[in-house]
Amino acid sequence: MADPLEEQVLGELKKGTGKEGVLKKLETRDNRDDLVWYLNHLPTGKGRKDHQWINWLLIIVLLALTLMKLYEIARIQIKAMDLDMFTPMLLLDLVVPAVNFFVLNKIIRFQRQGYEFMAVLGVLALVLEENRHMPYLALYLVIIGLSVFLLLRMFPKKERVKD
């Protein structure tokens, strides 16, 4: 569940209020740090609306990749159980899909961290040889490209709120 301050900031940004205007309107002595954080990690209403379809494309590609990985992990674990070679270490393979779902949550909510994490994790995923073959290579390149594009377009430096 979202923080009430985050809900207020989202409401103001969706109305079209600029980030500086939201800061002036909602700022108190106690919430300044949190308010600045939310303003720097959420896009303006226009940025959100203009890039909504590209964001959905990123979500679909990331979800497809995650489901493919889960399917592959399930096949490996079932085969290991059939051969009586299952070990708890095989469960570590579930870390990648868990992280992907965490980042997916951030991207669905249009939070800057999600795009930053996905760009970095996409590049790091290419270190593994299994991810440098089709279709994973294409999916990771699309994810990296879309993440960087959305990060640069929805969160330009000129819109950052200074402390």
Q: Which domain holds residue 19?
A: 4-42
Which residue in this structure is represented by tokens 């590209």? 54
| pTM of the complete model | 0.85
Q: Which structure tokens are listed for 30?
A: 């106690």
If asked whether residues 60 and 129 sit together in one domain, one would say: yes
Residue 2 has pLDDT above 70, yes or no: no
If asked whether residues 70 and 142 sit together in one domain, one would say: yes
Q: What sign for the dihedral angle of Cα 15, 21, 25, 26?
A: positive
- Per-residue pLDDT of 38-70, as tens digits, reads 888 888 878 788 889 999 999 999 999 999 999
Please state, in angstroms and rounded to a whole number, the distance separating the CA atoms of residues 67 and 98: 11
Say what the alpha-carbon torsion angle 33, 45, 116, 38 is, to the nearest 10 degrees: 10
If asked whether residues 63 and 31 sit together in one domain, one would say: no
If asked whether residues 9 and 87 sit together in one domain, one would say: no
If asked whether residues 116 and 73 sit together in one domain, one would say: yes
Domain total in the chain:
2
| Cβ pair 122, 100 in contact under 8 A | no
Lowest mean per-residue pLDDT among 34-43, 63-72, 94-103, 119-128 = 34-43
Q: Is residue 86 part of a domain?
A: yes
Mean residue pLDDT across the chain: 87
